[in-house]
Structure 1
Amino acid sequence: MRLHGVEPDNRTFPFLLQSLNSTPYLQSGKRIHAQVFLFGFDRDPFVQTSLIHMYSACGNPMLARQVFDEIAQPDLPSWNSIINAFAKVGLIHVAREVFDQMPQRNVISWSCMMKAYVMCGGYKEALGLFREMQMSDRGDGVRPNEFTMSSILSACGRLGALEHGKWVHAYIDKSGMKIDVVLGTALMNMYAKCGSIERAKCVFDNMGPSKDVMAWSAMISGLAMHGHATESLELFAEMIKCGVRPNAVTFVGVLCACVHGGLINEGKKYFRRMDEEFGIKPMIQHYGCIVDLYGRSGLISDAWKVVISMPMEPDVLVWGALLSGARMHRDVETSEIALKKLIQLDPTNSAAYVLLSNVYAKMGKWSEVRRVRDLMEERGIKKVPGCSLVEVGGVLHEFFVGDDSHPETREIYMMLDEIMKRLKMKGFVGNTSEALLQLDEEGKELALSFHSEKLALAFCFLKTSPGTPIRIVKNLRICCDCHDAMKMISKEFDREIVVRDCNRFHHFREGLCSCKDYW
């Protein structure tokens, strides 16, 4: 265009800047910015907003802010772009400061800020902002749209806040929003992550023939996560029959179904079909699933062969999968190797250090336990405290291991004591195999009784009527003792208990768990 002597106008630069949308284009963006000055469009609001958006997309919020500060009277798109610039690089507090300074906001402003909170793990803050938006709705007429609701549904799913999620679903229906593929998939994911796979299936079925590959993949993965392996694989077959071509994400869900169902032959078959039938080259996540599949089944040598033959370097997830199998089948040597590799790859991973200590503790190597603990102290690595979250009456309650901060702490501990006494009368013996402390058996049992999921469970017993399902979300892997206790509680008290830990869902019913005691 320039070679032909054609002069750019104020519309040229916004279109040109749109194409510079990732970090490698930053230098090109700066050169275009220089051309903006050269042709005198540096005060054009449309061009300025495009520059902010470009610097945001290229990961430089400081230059985006510099452009923003040069605008005498920023318009709404400019404000929204600068919020997005800070949110993208995780500067959530700065983004919120800018948001609070806005003279007026539109639905994009609110949605952008909520999405920023969700991206940075501020799920409660996202829900709080949504409530704030509802209140401002009465004053300035800003109503949430499909993008707003997708972010809020994601926050509900991450928190396991089913009541909140159901309310959001009702709000969507009441406001007449069309549940398209994007919103439908968000609803499915929310219900699946909140432990209600039946509702997720209902949303999926109501979406009709417009379902895309992401919707099918979300449902396949949801079923797999809940331990419904056969149903997940049947859905995959139905998807192929409907002419929807699977992608790499679909196969992660399919292989996870094989893992949770212990379907070794099926897992091998689907792994082959990926490349042979659909031309999808296996990624590291797929290899991780196969390692997990062999490991769970006790085929540790086969799992090792996969790790060694992978065309890429094994990552934290692959070594973690090998570790799970090795620990389950008491292969101490493999556990030790996998844990050392995990620490090598992620020196700040506190869970790996704790598990390595655990391996040594089981072997009675207390000097090695002390060495690992000293190493943690030396590197300033603190163990992540166990935290469990429950939703009762639409209110979220958080419990930490040994928590005494709840206003009803005394009643919670009394209830927990009553529950454990009843279990012991029925022959329950605490599983202290994973208690890391150098204590006697009684001391270990006492330490385990203060785990966050047990406190959350006792609180639910206090606050809900008999027969009501209990749903708990935990940040760490549920320990063997709590797992054994939950199984027995589900039978003795006739309560369905659903626990989502960092690995999967555990549905405890009538003394059994959906994970078949492997997680």
Structure 2
Amino acid sequence: MPPSLAPLVHALAFKLALSSSPYSASCLITLYSRARSPSSARHLFDEIPVANRDPVCYSSTIVGLAQNGRYEESLSVFAVMRTNAVDSTMYALSGALCAAAGLAVLEQSCGIHAHAVVVGLDGNVAVGTALVDAYGKAGVVDDAAKVFEALGGDRNLITWNAVLSAHAQQGDVQAIIGLFNQMMELGFAPDGLTFLAVLTACSNAGAATEAEFWLEAMQLKYSVKPSLEHYTCVVGAMARVGRLEDAESVACTMPCKPDAAVWRTLLMGCVVHRKVDMAESMGQRLLEINPKDDSTYVMLANVYSAAGKKNEEAKAWTAMRDRGVRKEGGRSWIEVRGLVHVFVANERRHEQLLEIYDKVNELIQEVEKLGYKEADEGFREDSLSITSVSEKTMK
């Protein structure tokens, strides 16, 4: 059934007093999720009486929310399911792990893994593959590899792609190639995602020559047609090592139309290697796509500043202001005991602000004892001033 028919089917189910039935509600939740209407899916789930929610209801909601990028809600429903002592299914566990992977939260992934072991589903290939992906996204490749090895003969191409992607995030080209060869020896045929993982590793490692080799091999040896994402990886690998002219040539001659990600990758390379003229060209291409792209103005201003072109730097900031573009603040986050703490530049609102900056200053002093010096003197001054402000506020 086409997902677009979800509202019509829902109306009919409501008319027949079946919309709150676990079976029909689960089907409708899946339809809404596939129609990219996660809010409708969640609203329907909430309308089901708690006593009537069975494992299928929970599973379809958890998976649907995760697939639509509503990761926090997906994990929330999973937590409710466990609180209500509803049996976990492979779908609920893999959906929750998909959500944890999307948020890159390690502690949540470990908790779901432990629960999978308790209910005896840790050996299921779908759950295991989701675990490999979640650990990989959280940056713990060793744990991803352990889960991968434990799956043994149940591993499929999706599992192999997951472990390849985990290593790709770290730019571990040698490990990727070794796993690729193992996969081929076992008779698995690589697909586009396999080569995307290989090329991502090359891009993250700045292995431009290897990236060119694999781009050609996937076409001529394995008969896999490259997509825009594959070419973007090659452009990124070349830009990282300063081969900007070659990267631009790839971008301009590839069979698919370059998007903003391609030009932004080139612009970032220009900033790193201080190629002002090419940066201006890349910046113009990006602004043609999106005149409100704040990162483009910032990178152009940075490359002008690095080259000592103060007038051009001022013009970049002026153009940004005149067009009503505001710089989006940078963010970072850390997970502590299952709770994600989000920070922005010059953070002043966190409830543990004073303790955080005290610890920063303590670490800086310890580092200085080892003979290291700060690259940015302004950071120390800023942290001290914020600590002073916080102390005055507390008084």
Structure 2 match to 1:76: 22
Structure 1 match to 2:148: 204
Q: Structure 1 residue 95 and structure 2 residue 41: aligned? A: yes
Paired residue type of 1:286 = H
Paired residue type of 2:96 = I
Q: Structure 1 residue 117 and structure 2 residue 117: aligned? A: no
Structure 1 match to 2:351: 407
3-state SS of 2:88 partner: coil
Aligned mates of 1:251, 1:65 — CA distance in 2: 41
Aligned mates of 1:65, 1:73 — CA distance in 2: 9
Show CA shifts across 1:191-242 (max 9, x none): 1111210011111111112322221122122112112211111111121122
Structure 1 match to 2:124: 180
Paired residue type of 1:388 = S
1:154 pairs, out of 75, 94, 98, with 98
Larger Rg: 1
- Verify the 8 A CA contact 2:88 2:119 in the aligned structure 1: no
3-state SS of 1:144 partner: coil
Aligned mates of 2:95, 2:233 — CA distance in 1: 28
> Structure 1 residues 111, 136: closer, same or farther in 2, change over 3 A?
same
Structure 2 match to 1:230: 174
- Verify the 8 A CA contact 1:188 1:200 in the aligned structure 2: yes
What's the CA shift for 1:175? 0.5
1:217-366 alignment runs, 5 A limit: 217-362=161-306, 363-364=309-310, 365-366=312-313
Structure 2 match to 1:107: 55
Paired residue type of 2:60 = C
Aligned mates of 2:101, 2:23 — CA distance in 1: 30
Aligned mates of 2:214, 2:384 — CA distance in 1: 42
3-state SS of 1:278 partner: coil
Show CA shifts across 1:455-504 (max 9, x none): xxxxxxxxxxxxxxxxxxxxxxxxxxxxxxxxxxxxxxxxxxxxxxxxxx
205-214 or 70-79, larger mean C-alpha shift: 70-79
Paired residue type of 1:419 = L
Aligned mates of 1:198, 1:312 — CA distance in 2: 36
Structure 2 match to 1:471: none
> Structure 1 residues 371, 67: closer, same or farther in 2, change over 3 A?
farther
Question: Under a length normalisation based on structure 2, what TM-score does the superposition of the two structures give?
Answer: 0.86
Paired residue type of 2:29 = I
1:372 pairs, out of 308, 319, 322, with 319
Show CA shifts across 1:237-286 (max 9, x none): 12112211111111111112222333333222221111111111111111
What's the CA shift for 1:354? 2.9
3-state SS of 1:306 partner: helix
Identify the structure with the greater helix proportion.
2
What's the CA shift for 1:101? 1.2
Paired residue type of 1:116 = G
What's the CA shift for 1:189? 0.7
- Verify the 8 A CA contact 1:295 1:325 in the aligned structure 2: yes
Show CA shifts across 1:319-338 (max 9, x none): 22222322221112222222
Question: Under a length normalisation based on structure 1, what TM-score does the superposition of the two structures give?
Answer: 0.67
Paired residue type of 2:246 = D
1:477-492 alignment runs, 5 A limit: none
Aligned mates of 2:163, 2:9 — CA distance in 1: 39
Aligned mates of 2:253, 2:169 — CA distance in 1: 27
Q: Structure 1 residue 66 and structure 2 residue 11: aligned? A: yes
1:411-430 alignment runs, 5 A limit: 411-423=355-367, 426-430=371-375
3-state SS of 1:390 partner: strand
2:109 pairs, out of 160, 165, 169, with 165
- Verify the 8 A CA contact 2:297 2:316 in the aligned structure 1: no
Aligned mates of 2:271, 2:380 — CA distance in 1: 21
Show CA shifts across 1:8-42 (max 9, x none): xxxxxxxxxx4xxxxxxxxxxxxxxxxxxxxxxxx
Aligned length: 379
Show CA shifts across 1:35-76 (max 9, x none): xxxxxxxxxxxxxxxxxxx3xx13x55434433433233332
188-197 or 365-374, larger mean C-alpha shift: 365-374
- Verify the 8 A CA contact 1:220 1:233 in the aligned structure 2: no
3-state SS of 1:398 partner: strand
3-state SS of 1:389 partner: strand
Paired residue type of 2:328 = V
What's the CA shift for 1:446? 4.9
> Structure 1 residues 352, 63: closer, same or farther in 2, change over 3 A?
farther
- Verify the 8 A CA contact 1:110 1:133 in the aligned structure 2: yes
> Structure 1 residues 243, 155: closer, same or farther in 2, change over 3 A?
same
357-366 or 226-235, larger mean C-alpha shift: 357-366
1:491-502 alignment runs, 5 A limit: none
Paired residue type of 1:157 = A
What's the CA shift for 1:349? 3.8
Aligned mates of 1:206, 1:310 — CA distance in 2: 40
Paired residue type of 1:196 = V
CA RMSD of aligned residues (A): 2.6
3-state SS of 1:246 partner: coil
> Structure 1 residues 366, 260: closer, same or farther in 2, change over 3 A?
closer
Show CA shifts across 1:421-472 (max 9, x none): 44456342334xxxxxxxxx74x77569999xxxxxxxxxxxxxxxxxxxxx
Aligned mates of 1:416, 1:221 — CA distance in 2: 33
- Verify the 8 A CA contact 1:188 1:201 in the aligned structure 2: yes
Paired residue type of 2:26 = N
Aligned mates of 1:412, 1:80 — CA distance in 2: 46
Structure 1 match to 2:88: 144
